[in-house]
């Protein structure tokens, strides 16, 4: 009987000394693309043997497809409108212990990659875009065969603030690079060129905006 009482007292003592000291979300990514998935983990500092279950939540209101599982897997809706969200890991055994982590949400630039077509002043044109290059080429008319190529592209996310086009083309990238090859085009090799690329909601049309010497040139391209 004394042995049983001693074991019971020891269990009570261990249980009463068990506690959660802190919760930390292990940093893995600081930004995610729309439509992507990322696995997050949380570390608990504890004393004794408390329950180490973590409850995950997204703090802000988000699109229906943006979710986080009980295991910390975060899925971003392909059409998420938030530019930043906060996830929180909460200790189930002590809800006063938690940790929050902010993640920036951006459009994946891959939606711009590929071959685009447009027609202007009777001339058909193509634009071929890759992660590192952009080629502009005339296909017919008096400029037939002319082209120029830009290499070393840098992509910076941007929101369209033009009232005339922002509803149809809400977001995109500022894309800059150096002109590399020129044929029958009024452009100079080595010059840095900057374009604004905005995409429509179903990702089938691209609005290219070029600003030069105070003038704004806008062209819509289709896949």
Instruction: Note the pLDDT of residue 187.
Output: 85
CATH no. of 109-222: 2.40.128
Instruction: Note the pLDDT of residue 10.
Output: 45
pLDDT (tens digit, 9 = 90+) per residue, 79-109? 999 999 999 999 999 999 999 999 999 999 9
pLDDT band at 143 (very low <50, low <70, confident <90, very high): low
pLDDT (tens digit, 9 = 90+) per residue, 198-209? 999 899 999 999
Domain range annotation of the chain: 21-106, 109-222
pTM confidence score: 0.80
Contacts of 179 (CB under 8 A, 6+ apart): 148, 149, 150, 187, 188, 189, 190, 191, 192, 193
Instruction: Note the pLDDT of residue 121.
Output: 78
Q: Which is more confident, 123 or 66?
A: 66
CATH no. of 21-106: 2.60.40.1080
Instruction: Note the pLDDT of residue 16.
Output: 56
Q: Determine how many CB atoms are found less than 10 A away from the CB of residue 30.
A: 9
Q: Given the structure tokens 């120029």, which residue do they identify?
A: 148
Instruction: Note the pLDDT of residue 9.
Output: 43
213: pLDDT strictly greater than 80: no
pLDDT (tens digit, 9 = 90+) per residue, 22-59? 999 998 899 999 999 999 999 999 999 999 999 999 99
Q: Which three-class secondary structure state does DSSP give residue 216?
A: strand
Instruction: Note the pLDDT of residue 2.
Output: 45
Contacts of 55 (CB under 8 A, 6+ apart): 70, 89, 90, 91, 92
Q: Which three-class secondary structure state does DSSP give residue 203?
A: coil
């Amino acid at each position: 009987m004394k042995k049983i009482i001693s074991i019971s007292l020891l269990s009570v003592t261990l249980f009463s000394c068990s506690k959660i000291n802190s919760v930390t979300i292990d940093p893995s990514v600081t930004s995610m693309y729309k439509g992507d998935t990322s696995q997050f983990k949380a570390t608990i500092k504890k004393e004794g043997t408390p329950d180490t279950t973590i409850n995950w939540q997204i703090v802000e209101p988000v699109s229906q497809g943006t979710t986080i599982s009980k295991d910390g897997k975060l899925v971003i809706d392909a059409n998420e409108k938030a530019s930043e969200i906060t996830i929180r890991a909460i200790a189930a055994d002590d809800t006063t212990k938690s940790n929050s982590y902010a993640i920036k949400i951006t459009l994946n630039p891959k939606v711009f990659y590929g071959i685009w077509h447009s027609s202007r002043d009777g001339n058909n044109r193509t634009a071929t875009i890759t992660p590192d290059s952009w080629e502009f080429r005339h296909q017919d008319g008096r400029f037939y065969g002319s082209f120029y190529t830009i290499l070393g592209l840098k992509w910076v996310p941007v929101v369209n603030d033009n009232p005339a086009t922002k509803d149809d083309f809400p977001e995109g990238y500022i894309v800059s690079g150096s002109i590399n090859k020129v044929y029958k085009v009024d452009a100079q090799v080595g010059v840095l060129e900057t374009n604004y690329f905005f995409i429509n909601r179903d990702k089938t049309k691209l609005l290219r905006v070029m600003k030069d010497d105070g003038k704004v040139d806008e062209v819509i391209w289709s896949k």
